[in-house]
Chains A and B, each alone.
Chain A
């Protein structure tokens, strides 16, 4: 019985070792060596001494934060009203549908829409405005990133709200809570697990976005993701690229720990 179980674990373990643990070890090894494969801390010293890297890090954080926040602000009410809808399955399908389209295709579609000869500018032209330069701005980057991430935020929040018994909401109103108080003290805390997974699913990958920064942000937005790509693909300085990667991984783990933190309850003495 035991051996049988172990047998079924083999593919999973092989996968984890080959594609998760080994790459991380490899990155760690690269980050602590120089181009001649001898041990060094200089990569890290460069990272934390050189202001550009720190600025990039803050930049990454800031954009990831903005994208996550805007996505959350749009997705939470959307998910809430979705739980009240009649044709939930259909609406969910419509929300999931865009995720089936390749990211690159979506990015190119947006270039077509936002570009100087794009749909938006054609529309603005009707009112005698423009052409306005929308593509290759911070706004375009955040807008498109938000658009792409919204389904990944709506789904976990939708599921979390759906699990809350309507009687619990009624109980809150029954005890005199206004709509806002019911949201604050009952709905929000009970749907937080959904919000947390949504935030993790968006904030963490957003830290390392690089394709969108290039195609939509026009390389004006430089994040750690763009930097890694630069070091690995262009300057071929794998050691520095790996160092940035390690920093990114540490940041991601920190975010995970922060969003999963449970608040300890105070005991009351009656």
Chain B
């Protein structure tokens, strides 16, 4: 079921800066979404428009099928976990978490068990009487989450909620957030600039850049089939080479012709080719699709990160479980499916239309 829909949302700030350009997105109930993009791409602006703190310059916001574009933030069944937590410094943990329920004039004998339950959910049992200033960053983060979920919102918005935490704590909280979301069954919209975080937590990701949605889809789809070089570069490491389409399912790059899995592109059109470093296998030089010379090698705990160059001075990034000897010539092997061909400046709609078309052709043949 769709719970939130943004239709043709644009946002121009008072200084004339256009932060969002024709944003369309649909959020389904009960899923974990991420808005992923570099700083300044408009993620927080989208969140503020959904929460009601900011008005779109044009376009509409729908909640549960109703147009809520002009509804006050206080009247939306949406709660937010703010970027710097925004806890009430003059209230203690209990009063912070109880705030929303007290505002709704709930009786104390209802508030207490609800707060207890929420604090338990974020593993802060026994912290009710602490002052906010006595808590660590991670604990404040949990209070902010408890303060929001105690209201049983239908949608929870989280703005870079884990960014201020150190790496260990952040990993823990990623698991916990996901667990809380599963347990409560409410929709989470999580804003982050960290692609790893988005990939590991989300059911669905919206990749943003320059106030536009570049691509949306499941983490696997976005990782495996980036629609343009922005997404390819932003999500994970990748080798991006310029090339030329020969015909359907055949592409030329690095001075070689390769079979690939993409079609529906004009012959001879200039394209870019993405190959993920972990899709490259190191083999004997005569068995490889391409021969390279290893130049640097880093051991990263669970794999080696190798940088190599081929005969045409193209740089290759390879993730391999085994190391290589530096300066040695090795072959790189990859399957046709590992080659992702991207047209220059293709939008997701064009991309989807093309895929549909040539996959249709394929079925006819």
Give a binary string over A57-92; 1 marks a CB under 8 Å from any B CB, 0 the rest: 000000000000000000000000000000000000
Q: Is the CB of A173 within 8 A of B129?
A: no
* Residues of chain A contacted by B53 (CB below 8 angstroms): 170, 173-174
Contact pick for A268, options B86, B128, B147, B151, CB 8 Å:
B128
Judge whether B112 and A178 touch: CB under 8 Å: no
CB pair B84 A265 closer than 8 Å: no
Closest to B119 in A: A270
Which of A7-15, A28-36, A181-189, A208-216 forms part of the interface with chain B? Answer: A181-189
Residue of A nearest to B98 (CB): A268
Q: Does residue B167 face the partner (Cβ distance < 8 Å to A)? A: no
| Contact pattern, B 73-93, Cβ under 8 Å of A = 1, otherwise 0 | 111001110111011111010
Contacts known (A189-B90, A268-B112, A270-B115); A173 close to B73, Cβ less than 8 A: yes
Is B280 part of the binding interface, using a Cβ–Cβ cutoff of 8 Å?
no
Given contacts A190-B90, A268-B112, A268-B128, contact A176 B103 (CB under 8 A): yes
Q: Bound complex: CA of A186 vs CA of B92, how far in Å?
A: 13
Given contact pairs A175-B147, A268-B129, a sample of 6 additional A-B residue pairs in the complex whose CB atoms are under 8 Å apart: A173-B72, A173-B73, A174-B78, A178-B74, A267-B129, A270-B119
CB pair A177–B115 under 8 Å, yes or no, is no
Contacts of A181 in B (CB 8 A): 103
Residues of chain B lying within 8 A (CB to CB) of residue A174: 51, 53, 73-74, 78-80, 148
Q: Is B168 an interface position by the 8 A CB rule?
A: no
A257 adjacent to chain B (CB < 8 Å): no
Separation of A76 and B216 alpha carbons in the complex (Å): 48
Q: Which residue of A lies closest to B120 (CB)?
A: A270
B94 and A268 contacting across the interface, CB-CB below 8 Å? yes
Which B residues touch A177, using CB under 8 A? 74, 99, 103
CB atoms of A176 and B74 under 8 A apart: yes
The answer to the question of B38 belonging to the interface, with a C-beta cut-off of 8 Å to chain A, is no
Chain B residue at smallest Cβ distance from A171: B86
Against B, the Cβ 8 Å flags (1 = close, 0 = not) of A95-133 are 000000000000000000000000000000000000000
Closest-CB distance, B122 to chain A (whole angstroms): 14
The chain A residue sitting closest to B131, CB to CB, is A265
Q: Does A168 lie within 8 Å of B88, measured CB to CB?
A: yes
Report B-chain residues with C-beta under 8 Å of the C-beta of A189. Answer: 90
26 contacts between A and B (CB under 8 A): A165-B84, A165-B86, A167-B83, A168-B86, A168-B87, A168-B88, A170-B53, A170-B86, A171-B86, A171-B87, A171-B88, A172-B88, A173-B72, A173-B73, A173-B74, A174-B51, A174-B53, A174-B78, A174-B79, A175-B74, A175-B100, A175-B148, A177-B74, A190-B90, A268-B112, A268-B129
Residue B142 at the chain A interface, CB threshold 8 Å: no
Chain A CB within 8 A of B5 CB: no
Task: Report the separation of the CA atoms of residues A174 and B115 in the bound assembly, to the nearest whole angstrom.
Answer: 18
In the complex, per-residue mask of A148-184: 1 if CB is within 8 Å of any chain B CB, else 0: 0000000000000000010110111111111001000
Q: How far is the CA of A185 from the CA of B74 in the complex (A)?
A: 15
Q: Is the CB of A172 within 8 A of B89?
A: no
Contact residue among B89, B90, B99 (Cβ-Cβ distance under 8 Å from A175): B99
Does B154 interact with chain A (Cβ within 8 Å)?
no
Question: Are A270 and B116 interface neighbours, CB within 8 A?
Answer: yes
Most buried by A among B74, B83, B128, B148: B74
Name the distance in Å between B10's Cβ and chain A's nearest Cβ. 22
Q: Interface residues of A, CB < 8 Å — how many?
A: 21
Closest to A166 in B: B86
CA distance in complex: A168, B87 (Å): 6
Residues on B facing A (Cβ under 8 Å): 51, 53, 72-75, 78-80, 82-84, 86-90, 92, 94, 99-100, 103-104, 112-113, 115-116, 119, 128-129, 147-148, 151
A173 to B73, CA, bound (A): 6
Q: Across the interface, name the chain B residue whose C-beta is closest to A177.
A: B103
**A171 pairs with B80, CB closer than 8 A:** yes
B99 interface neighbour in A172, A178, A268, Cβ under 8 Å: A172
Query: What A residues does B147 contact at CB under 8 A?
Result: 171, 175
Give chain B residues whose Cβ lies under 8 Å from the Cβ of A270. 94, 112-113, 115-116, 119, 128
In contact, A185 and B99 (Cβ under 8 angstroms): yes
Distance in angstroms between the alpha carbons of A39 and B90 in the assembled complex: 50
Query: CB-CB < 8 A to A172: which residues of B?
Result: 88, 99
A55 to chain B, nearest CB (A): 40
Q: Are B82 and A176 in contact (CB under 8 A)?
A: no
A167 and B112 form a contact (CB under 8 A): no
Q: Taking A165-B84, A165-B86 as contacts, is the C-beta distance between A175 and B103 under 8 angstroms?
A: yes
Query: What sequence of 0s and 1s flags, for each residue 226-270 of chain A, a beta carbon within 8 Å of any chain B beta carbon?
Result: 000000000000000000000000000000000000000101101
A175 and B151 contacting across the interface, CB-CB below 8 Å = yes
With CB as the reference atom, state the residue of chain B lying closest to A174. Answer: B80
Q: Is the CB of A176 within 8 A of B151?
A: yes
Q: Nearest Cβ distance between residue A196 and chain B, in whole angstroms?
A: 13
CA distance A268 to B51 in the complex (A): 31
For the complex formed, measure the closest distance between the CB of A246 and the CB atoms of chain B, giving whole angstroms.
37
A190, closest chain B residue (CB): B90
5 smallest CB-CB distances across A and B, nearest first, come from: A167-B86, A175-B100, A171-B86, A270-B116, A173-B73
Q: Which of A170, A176, A190, A267 contacts B89 (CB 8 A)?
A: A190
In the complex, are the beta carbons of B82 and A170 less than 8 A apart?
yes
Q: Which residues of B contact A265 (CB under 8 A)?
A: 92, 129
CB-defined contacts of A170 to chain B, threshold 8 Å = 53, 73, 80, 82, 86
